[in-house]
Structure 1
Amino acid sequence: MSSCALLFPTLALGQDTAGTTVLDPIIIQSKRDVQTDTATAVTEIDQEEMDDRQANTIAELIDSVPGVTLINGSTPTGGGINIRGFGAGNTYGSNQKVLIQVDGATQGSEELYRISTQLLTDPELYKSVEVIRGTTGTFEYGSGVVGGMVRLQTKDAGDFTGGQIGVKVRQALSFGTNGDGISSSTTLAWQPAEDLEFLANYSWRRQGRQIGGDGLDIGAEGFKTPSYLLKGKYTFGQNRDQYVSLSLTETSAAERDVPYDAFGTTGGFFGNVDRDITSRSAVLSYGWDPAANDLVNLEVRLSRADQQIDSTAIGGPNALGDADHRYETTQLLIKNTAELRFGGFDNRLRTGVEFIRKERLEASSAPGGTDDRVALFIVNDMDFRNGLTITPALRYETQDIDGRRYGYGRYDNDALMGGISARYEWSNGFSVFASAAYTESLPILDDLTNTAQNWGGRIVNYMTTPERARTYEIGSAYRGDDLFATGDAFSFKANIYHTKAWDLTSEPGMSGTDMKGLELEAAYSMANGIYLDLNANLADYAATTVAGVPGQGYAHTPTNQARLTIGKKWDRGLDLSWEMIADKRYDAGTTVSPGFAVHSLRASYRPESGVLAGAEFRVAVENLFDRDYKPRLGTRNGPGRNVKFAIAKTF
C-alpha cells in the first residue's frame, strides 16, 4: 500500500488545477460507511446501526470495529474495552490508554482492580458512537491515548422533532431469550419554539444470567441498569449564531451477593459483595459561530463526570470487598476553530486550552488524591487545494498530582506531545495517507502507593515516569460508484500501524510493547438494495518484561479477526442481513484461544405509510448455531443463541 502513490500518477493529471475538484457525494447504502476522507483511523456508528444491533452495552455496539476487542462486553461491570491491545485487561477494567467521552465529558476510572466502570451506561441514550484507533486525531481530546478513544453523542430533541415546533414521543421495547433480557426506553422531545428544545429519556434494562453454547451458565452476573438523559438547548443571537446547551446523564446498577471479582478469574477468592454503582455526567456548553467572521467558531464546555462504586463485603470485613471508590472529573474547555486562507492553501486551525481536575476518594484498596492539569493544543488542517492535506498537531500538558491529604506525596510533571498526518486524494476517489504520533500518559493517582519499583536493576519512580508511545501509520482508501453495475457504490480503507510503547507502569510485569497490525474496512452497495460490509484486524505483538527481557508474548494481544455482513434493503423499509464473526486460533506459548465463527441474522422493518407509519420492528438471532466459544481476552465464554425482538413507535 505504501506504493499506491506510484500506481496512479497519470490519474492526477486530470485534476482541476484551478482548485480542488468538487465531486458529487457518493452514498454507500450499507450498514456502515467507511471514513475514506481522513488519515485518522476512525469508525462511526450511527443511529440506524445502533438500533439494528439491539446492544445491551456500549461495548456490544463497538465490538464490530476493527482493532476493538472486548473483555466480557455483555456485562457493564465485568467488562472493558481494549483497542489495539491497550486498555482493559483481565486485571484492570480500564486504563488511560483508551479514552471514553460522553458529550465531551471524560468517563471512567484509572485502574480498578477486577472491576470496570467504562461500560456503565445505556445505548438508548445515544445517537452516535465514534471510535478513533491509535493516537492520530486525539490530541485535542486528551493525552496518553495509545489504543484509541470512544466518543459518544447523546440524542437531541431535534432528532425527533426535525426542528419543527411541537412534541414527539418515542417508546421502545426489546426482549431477549438468553437470560430473559428486557428493556424499555421512553423519550419525550419538546420544541416549544424554533430556538428552544428539550429532551427527556428514561431507559430501564434487565439482563439475567446467560447460558453458553454448551448449555452451561457462562458465569456472568445479571444486571439491572436504570438510566436517564435530560437535555436542553437554546439558540440565539444574530442569525441564530450562538447557542447554550445542558445535558445530564445517569446510569446506576445495584448488585447483591455477587463476587467482588467481576471478571471471574479468581474463583471467588475475594468473596462476595453487595455493590452499588452510579455513573453521572453533566455538560454545559456555549457556542458562537458568526457567519461574517471565519476566524471565530468558539466552543466553551464545562463538564463533570462522577463514577461511584460502593461495596459491602458479605460475611464479614474484607479489604477489597468493603472498598468504596469515587472518581470526579471536572473539565473546562475553551476552543476556537478558525478558517484561514493563505496564498496556496486553506487552513482549519483549532486551538484550545483545557483545565482538568480529577478527584479520587481514599479507598482501602486504592489511594486518594487530586490530579490537576492544564493542557494547550493546536491542530491545523492544511488543504493545499490540489488533493493534498497535511495536519500537524501539538499538545502540551502540565500536572500537579497531590495525595498529601491522605498521607502520600505531591508531584509535578509535564509533557509535550504531537504528531503529523498527510493525505493525498486523486480526483478518481483514490487516496493515500500516512501519520506519525508521539504521546505520553502522565502518572496516575492509583500509583501514589507505588512510587518506586525495581525493574531488573533499574529503579523506576512511577510518579515521575510517564508512559510513552510512538505510532506510525500508512494506508490507502478509495470511494467510487458505477464500478460493476449502474448505481453501485464502493468504499475501502486499509491501514497499517506500528506502535512502540515503553515505561508501561500500568502493565503488570511488562515495561514495553512493540505492536504491528493491519486494519481493513470495506462497504459495497448495489442499486437493487444488496449490500456488503467487511472489516478485519490482523495483529502481531511482542513485549519486554520489567527485567528487560525482550520478545515475550504480550498478555493483551488480540487475535486476528474478520467480520462479514451481507444484506438487502427494500424501498418499503425492510432490511435483512446475515453477519459472521470469525476469530483465528491464538496460540502463543502457554496461551491458547481456539478459533471460532459465530453467525447472526437480523431483520428490521420500518413502514413508511399506513397505520404503522412511524413504527419500527426488529428481530435478531445472535449466535444462530448456538456455538460454544470463548473470545480472545475474555475471561468467560460468550453467550449462546439469543433471539431478540424490538418494537418502537414515534408519536
Structure 2
Amino acid sequence: MKINKMRRALLCSASGMALAVTATVSAAQDPDDGDGFLGLLVLGNNKRDVQTDTATPETVINAAEIQDRQAGSVAELIDSVPGVTLVNAGTPTGAGINIRGYGADGTYGSNQKVQIQLDGATMGSEELYRIGTQLYTDPALFREVSVIRGTVGSYEYGSGVIGGVVNLETIDAADLTEGEIGLSGRQTFEYYGNANTRVSSTILGWQPTENLEFLLNYTYREQGNYTDGDGNEVANTGYELPSYLVKGRYSFGDNANQSLTFSHSQTTSDEKDVPYDAFASIPFGNVDRYTETTTTSLQYAYNPLGNDLVDLTATLSYADQYIEQDEVGSTGSALLNADHRYETTKLTVKNTSLFNAFGAEHNLRAGGEIIRKERLDASSAPGGTDKRFALFAIDEIDFGNGFSLTPAMRYETQDIRSSSDGSYVTAGESFDNSELMGGISARYAFDSGFAVFGSVAYTAGLPILDDFDYATYATYMTQSEKAVTYELGASYDKVGVFSGDDTLRAKVNLWQTRLWDYTSGTDYASVDRVNTEGVEIEASYSHGSGAYVDMNANMSSGEWSYVDGTTADYTRMPANSLGLTVGKKFNDTLDLSWEAVLTKDIRSTPGYAVHNLRATYAIDTGFLKEAELRLGVENIFDKQYTPHLATRAASGRNIKLSLAAAF
C-alpha cells in the first residue's frame, strides 16, 4: 500500500474511531474470516488508566497490572501498548522491542531509537548483532513501567528517540511498609503449565525509623522449552533468570526535605548450547552464553517546603552488561567466541520549578547530563568510548483557560573515539558532533471533557560506536540521523456518562514521522529516507457495579525511499491490531476478565485472534495484609500463529497460576 493511500485510510479510520468513542459495544469479528478486524470499538479499563490529561502519547502500567499480566519478561509486559510489538517473545535473550516500527528489527535487538531507562540509568541501546534487546531484568522488580511513544516526550531522556522511551521504576520499601515503622514483605510463587515455568519472588521492606527504609528482592525464574499451538516444542526457548534488587532511602533536613536513594539490581542468564543467533534465523552455530546485567543508581533529592522554585534531583547511574560467549565446537569463529561488555555512566541533574510569568503558570523542568559509554571491542561490535554532554528544558505552560503549551529542547555534544583497530578504523580515531533539537506541543481542554492536542518534534541521533564498522565510517561518524514527527489527536474524559457512577476515558492520536540521513541498519547505503505514520487509540470504561472494558488499537504503515528514486513498503512496521478486555470486579474479592488480541494480515504474516482469561481472588486470612490467588489462561483455544516480525511461532495454550501473600 502506498503511503499516501495509507494516510487517507488513517484519517478516515481515526475520524470514525473518534465518533465511536461515545458508542457502546459492537460485535467483534475474527480476522481469520478475511473481513476487517476493526468491527469492534468499545471503551474502558479498570486496570490501566488512559492518560487523557497530556498531549504526550504515554501509557502507564502500574504495579497491579504488572502482577495481573504474569509476564515472563519486560518486553512481554509492554506488548499490549498500542504501537509496541515484539521481535519474538518468550525468552529475554531473543526478544526485541519495536515501537512505531523503530528499535528491534530482526538483525539488531535494539538501537538508540528506543530508549530504555531503569531508575534513571540508560540501558540496551547498542546495535548488538542478533542477540536480542539485552533487557534481561525481571518484571517482578518494578512498581511502574511507562511507555512514551514517539519523540515529543523524550527530550529529558536522550537524543535520536524516534520510536519512544520505556521507563522502568523499581519497587520501594514504602510500597510494602506504607510509611510505617516495621518489617513488611511479599512472597509470590508462580507456575506456568506450558514450558513448566517456575517463579519465586521474595520482597522484604524494612523501615527502622520514619526517615530510613531498606528493600531487598530476590526473584528466580526458570523455564523449559515451550510448545506452540500445534503441540510442537520450540527449541532453545528455555532459560534460567535469577534477579535481585537492593534499595535504600534516607530522608533528612528540615521536614525531611532532602533524601538519598540507592538502588542496585542484577540479573543473570546462563544458556548452554544455544544458537548464537537469538532470533533463530541464521545458523551461525551454537554457543554457551552467560549474561550479567547490573544497574546501580544514587539519587539526591531536595524539595524545600514552601519553595516552588526548587525541586532538585541529582542522579548518578551506572549500567553494565557483560556477555560471555564460547563456541560449542571447534571452528574458532571470532563471532561465536566474542565477549561483549557495555558500560554507561551518567550524571543527570534536573530541577522542577513552579512559577507564574507573562500571565501563565509554568512547570519548568530543566537540567543537564554527562554521559560516558564504554564498549569492549569484539567481532561485529567495534569498541570505544562515547562521551556526551547534554542540556534540556521542558516548560509546561498553563494559560488558565483550558489552553496549555509545552515547548521542549535538548542540546547534546559528543566526543566519540575508537579504542582498537578494526576492519576500517584505526585505534584512537575520534570525532566531535553536536545537535540542537526540540519540539512543541499544544492542548486545549473543553469544559465538556473533550480535549484536542497536537505537536511537532525534531530529534537527531548522534553517531554510535557501531558506525565505526562501516567502510564509509569517516562520513557516518559526522552525520546524525534526523527525524521530525507530527502528532494530532483528541481525548475525552468524563464521569457520569450513562449513569452517575461510570467513567469514560478515550484518546485518539494520529502521528507521522519522516527520517532522513539514515545510517543505521545493514541497508544503510541504499536508503535515502523513511516515512512512517499511524493512528493509536486507547479507551476505558468503568461502571460502579464493577464492570469495566478496555480497548486499544493501532494502525500504521511505512515506506522506504531509496537513493535511486524507488520506493517500497517499510517492512518493520507492526501489524494493525486491536486489543479488547472485558471484566468485572465482585466486591473487591474476585476480578474476572476476558482479553482478545486481534491482528490483521500484513504481507506474508496471516492475521490471528488470540483469547486470554484472567481471574484474581483476594483471600481473607485474618492475619495477612493481603493474599491473592491468580489464574490466567493465555491462548485458550491453542491457536497456532507467528506474530509479525517474529522469527518463531508463539506459545500455545498456557495456564498460569500465582499465589501471593503480603505481611
TM-score bracket, shorter-length normalisation? over 0.9
Distance 1:405 1:323 in 2: 15
The partner residue of 2:119 within 84, 87, 103 is: 103
- Asked whether the 8 Å contact 1:219–1:264 carries over to 2, the reply is no
What residue is the counterpart of 2:456 in the other structure? 436
What residue is the counterpart of 1:488 in the other structure? 502
Answer yes or no: is 1:376 the counterpart of 2:387. Answer: no
- Asked whether the 8 Å contact 2:107–2:129 carries over to 1, the reply is yes
Distance 2:412 2:220 in 1: 39
Answer yes or no: is 1:607 the counterpart of 2:619. Answer: yes
Unmatched 5+ stretches in structure 2: 1-10, 20-43
Q: SS in structure 1 opposite 2:569?
A: coil
- Asked whether the 8 Å contact 1:479–1:492 carries over to 2, the reply is yes
Q: SS in structure 2 opposite 1:78?
A: coil
What residue is the counterpart of 1:357 in the other structure? 372
What residue is the counterpart of 1:19 in the other structure? none
Deviation at 1:551?
A: 2.3
Q: SS in structure 1 opposite 2:507?
A: strand
Aligned positions of 1:112-511 closer than 5 A = 112-266=128-282, 268=283, 270-316=284-330, 317-406=332-421, 407-408=426-427, 409-452=429-472, 461-509=475-523, 510-511=527-528
Distance 2:662 2:234 in 1: 37
Answer yes or no: is 1:53 the counterpart of 2:69. Answer: yes
**Identity, % of aligned pairs?**
51
- Asked whether the 8 Å contact 1:607–1:613 carries over to 2, the reply is no
Deviation at 1:573?
A: 2.0
Distance 2:125 2:462 in 1: 14
Q: SS in structure 2 opposite 1:52?
A: helix
Deviation at 1:364?
A: 2.4
Amino acid at match of 1:482: G
Q: SS in structure 2 opposite 1:508?
A: coil
What residue is the counterpart of 1:522 in the other structure? 539
Distance 2:406 2:655 in 1: 46
Deviation at 1:572?
A: 3.7
Aligned residue pairs total: 618
* 1:232–1:345 Cα change, 3 Å: same
Amino acid at match of 1:607: I
Deviation at 1:159?
A: 0.1
Distance 2:458 2:93 in 1: 32
Distance 1:278 1:363 in 2: 17
Q: SS in structure 2 opposite 1:461?
A: helix
Q: SS in structure 2 opposite 1:448?
A: helix
| TM-score (normalizing by structure 2) | 0.91
Q: Deviations over 1:84-142 (max 9, x none)?
A: 00000111011110000000100014111110243211000001100000001110111
Deviation at 1:450?
A: 1.2
| TM-score (normalizing by structure 1) | 0.93
- Asked whether the 8 Å contact 1:115–1:262 carries over to 2, the reply is yes
Deviation at 1:392?
A: 0.3
Q: Relative to structure 2, which stretch is displaced further, 483-492 or 460-469?
A: 460-469
- Asked whether the 8 Å contact 1:323–1:363 carries over to 2, the reply is yes
- Asked whether the 8 Å contact 2:132–2:279 carries over to 1, the reply is no
Q: Deviations over 1:380-439 (max 9, x none)?
A: 000001111100001000000011444342111110100000001112211000000000
Answer yes or no: is 1:595 the counterpart of 2:607. Answer: yes
The partner residue of 2:596 within 562, 570, 580 is: 580
Amino acid at match of 2:210: E
Distance 2:299 2:80 in 1: 31
What residue is the counterpart of 1:16 in the other structure? none
Distance 1:544 1:280 in 2: 40
Amino acid at match of 1:31: K
Q: Deviations over 1:249-305 (max 9, x none)?
A: 000000011110110011x2x110010001110000000011121111111000000
Unmatched 5+ stretches in structure 1: 9-27, 454-459
What residue is the counterpart of 2:41 in the other structure? none
- Asked whether the 8 Å contact 1:273–1:311 carries over to 2, the reply is yes
- Asked whether the 8 Å contact 1:607–1:614 carries over to 2, the reply is yes
What residue is the counterpart of 1:642 in the other structure? 654
Deviation at 1:598?
A: 0.3
What residue is the counterpart of 1:17 in the other structure? none
- Asked whether the 8 Å contact 1:361–1:369 carries over to 2, the reply is yes
Distance 2:257 2:564 in 1: 57
Deviation at 1:503?
A: 1.8
Distance 2:124 2:448 in 1: 43
Distance 1:580 1:46 in 2: 21
What residue is the counterpart of 2:33 in the other structure? none
- Asked whether the 8 Å contact 2:45–2:539 carries over to 1, the reply is no
Deviation at 1:610?
A: 3.2
What residue is the counterpart of 1:555 in the other structure? 571
Distance 2:307 2:496 in 1: 40
Distance 2:620 2:543 in 1: 22
